[in-house]
Structure 1
């Protein structure tokens, strides 16, 4: 199905909360899946201490996860078009459960890094397909379905650090085993509540492995993907490096990133649509990214002042929540191609930045000083603003599509 303008009148009549049970099953499973992003944040120092790993080695828990996700995103469309959305979601959940459970039982940092990569594979299968599932099953239209998807991301990202902090205070293994158990619950919910694929789904053309690469020929999609890659460099610099400079225990880190995640969830659902309607997608994204770049710059200047870093992390959540919804909605309407293909191409580009940033951030701190990682992250985010403004003529058409009501 090609991307098309949203009928804002019909969406206005449909409530965001008036959804089939299948949508809520995917929503619940999405919350658990996205816990994986922030889950390890509060336990990064503890993992290093318990496994005798350096900070840069611990950062690879993010890098392996995101690198595998980036590559796997290229094949998710081909897989889901052949075995169906429901089966792909279930396979993704099983893979996450297996690798997170094995991670909780592992005894070496490099084994754990490899298992996090396997977790990333499961997440790629689930995440890319979950967006398509929520959009196709939702009764409230594409843009409100995207807001619901972003809400699942926000809740997962916010609950992840809290769960990681609480279980991590008992043992660093707890968060990994906890996610495995929750994924079993999500599996039961999906297999029970999601409908079987109908004959129309079975008759659809199978997606080629080359489709995501062909999608990048669309300048608008390429611009958004590269912008997201640069902005995710800053995003995951904050995620992977901030826990080491905050000097808090597992509980403290969990609460700081809980505040970050709560603001991310609230702004992605309630504030982003209002910004888009009033100022437009590209302008709103540019402002949010500029502010996020300035926040990272402040973290680079006052790295040794704990309360500044805490406040900056939490404030960043609001900026990232807005931008996530704005850019995801823009991507879904950027080019006349299958939304699942657009999502795969875009996700590949954005997770490249997310894979490089964690390891490089800790290395920059070792090579230079504690301030440099945040400053470099800020530079990438501000560069993304310059890039999207230089390509404004190629993406301005997305402002014709309203998100929200």
Structure 2
């Protein structure tokens, strides 16, 4: 995974790290699990696509806003208890969603699911980065592997369970998350609360720093395109629940493969900046193809599956870059970044449904492609920050810790930005 000879294997980890990674797999399964049942929900519960898309919107917008309080909570009760609280909320609200009989009820319970998701996601990344052997890059690769596997398996399981009943995927998540909860309780060691208690305002204050804000806004634009494809593409395909599950499993497999293998190779060969620019440009073209050929089922299916490659590359490289360029503690950076990017992911599916109702089925994808292009422009304003991230990661690969490689630079950057904001 790393180009550096003799680098530790990112997949040789303590049991506690594997327990959290397993829980991450199940958590990320929840993203794609509902995709195969979206048309079924629309027809069986007599709801429009924009109404059904609120399953994504309530889940992701609540996740985004709740990201602001994850540091506040974990700094008071510790990381393990925060993970347990998040997992428990997901178990409860996914089961309640499965027992609901209306779209409004499912949307409401998905919001509670999003709260648990926020507590879990931000904390799990910090725990894996802090506990994993194999260095910072290895920890990110492990985290993105969990994301990719979850995204790949989610639609397949959703298609199988959804073919029995649309309630199946929700109950399936509840059972799997309960298993992850037990593994976390048993295998993850108790973690003391940090010496400094975080404030709810810390993530918002962190966004004053140009690097974090630039990467967050880029991710917002990228996630608009990502969740337009994920949340709306199932409707024009006109496939059954099983078939949709297979299509999005193919998509998820590419997410996993390019997260773990493609992204490190491309980054080593072309660098962070060129890889991100090229990847985002190709992703925008792919979404445009979906918009132009929405009436061609074969083209639509192919383009949706191919999109998984671009999503996998972007997820891994962007996560590493944002954690590297952020001049704040990593849990705070994770919360601030998650807050901004999930806003785009939450609003996009609902906007896609409304655009399709008023302007036709092609319009959501045109807007999604345009959003990704805007993200390239935003990223270009922070080009020097990407170069800093490359130097810091190269220093770590050479045997220096991220703190040794970055501490002076980050302190100087934070001081300069604080002075600038005060003047």
- TM-score bracket, shorter-length normalisation: over 0.9
For the pair 1:109 / 2:103, whether they are aligned, the reply is yes
Structure 2 Cα separation of the partners of residues 209 and 153 of structure 1: 27
Number of equivalences: 395
Once the two structures are overlaid, the 10-residue window that deviates more, 60-69 or 203-212, is: 203-212
Instruction: Please report how far the alpha carbon of residue 203 of structure 1 lies from its aligned counterpart in structure 2 after TM superposition.
Output: 5.0
Quick check: 1:277–1:402 contact (8 Å CA) kept in 2? no
Structure 2 Cα separation of the partners of residues 45 and 164 of structure 1: 13
1:136 corresponds, among 130, 137, 158, to 130
Aligned ranges 1:253-292 → 2 under 5 Å = 253-292=244-283
Structure 1 Cα separation of the partners of residues 178 and 326 of structure 2: 36
Instruction: Please report how far the alpha carbon of residue 55 of structure 1 lies from its aligned counterpart in structure 2 after TM superposition.
Output: 1.1
The residue aligned with 1:78 is 72
Structure 2 Cα separation of the partners of residues 398 and 338 of structure 1: 16
**Does the residue aligned with 1:114 lie in a helix, a strand or coil?**
helix
Structure 1 Cα separation of the partners of residues 300 and 62 of structure 2: 30
**Does the residue aligned with 2:53 lie in a helix, a strand or coil?**
helix
The residue aligned with 1:389 is 380
How big is each residue's C-alpha offset from its partner over 1:334-369, in whole Å with a ceiling of 9 and x where there is no partner? 122110100111111101111110000011011011
The residue aligned with 1:205 is 196
Runs of 5+ in structure 2 lacking a partner? 398-423
Instruction: Please report how far the alpha carbon of residue 83 of structure 1 lies from its aligned counterpart in structure 2 after TM superposition.
Output: 0.6
Structure 2 Cα separation of the partners of residues 388 and 30 of structure 1: 28
The residue aligned with 2:92 is 98
1:350 corresponds, among 311, 330, 341, to 341
Runs of 5+ in structure 1 lacking a partner? 1-6
Instruction: Please report how far the alpha carbon of residue 12 of structure 1 lies from its aligned counterpart in structure 2 after TM superposition.
Output: 4.1
Instruction: Please report how far the alpha carbon of residue 202 of structure 1 lies from its aligned counterpart in structure 2 after TM superposition.
Output: 3.4
The residue aligned with 1:62 is 56
Structure 1 Cα separation of the partners of residues 199 and 135 of structure 2: 27
Instruction: Please report how far the alpha carbon of residue 190 of structure 1 lies from its aligned counterpart in structure 2 after TM superposition.
Output: 0.6
Consecutive aligned runs of 4 or more in structure 1 exceeding 4 Å deviation: none
Instruction: Please report how far the alpha carbon of residue 402 of structure 1 lies from its aligned counterpart in structure 2 after TM superposition.
Output: 3.3
1:125 corresponds, among 91, 114, 119, to 119
Quick check: 2:75–2:194 contact (8 Å CA) kept in 1? no
The residue aligned with 1:380 is 371
Quick check: 2:76–2:194 contact (8 Å CA) kept in 1? no
How big is each residue's C-alpha offset from its partner over 1:21-75, in whole Å with a ceiling of 9 and x where there is no partner? 0000001110001111101100001111121111110010001101000000111
1:365 corresponds, among 337, 356, 364, to 356
Cα RMSD (Å): 1.5
Quick check: 2:78–2:194 contact (8 Å CA) kept in 1? no
Once the two structures are overlaid, the 10-residue window that deviates more, 294-303 or 12-21, is: 12-21
TM-score w.r.t. structure 1 length? 0.95
Structure 2 Cα separation of the partners of residues 89 and 153 of structure 1: 16
The residue aligned with 1:35 is 29
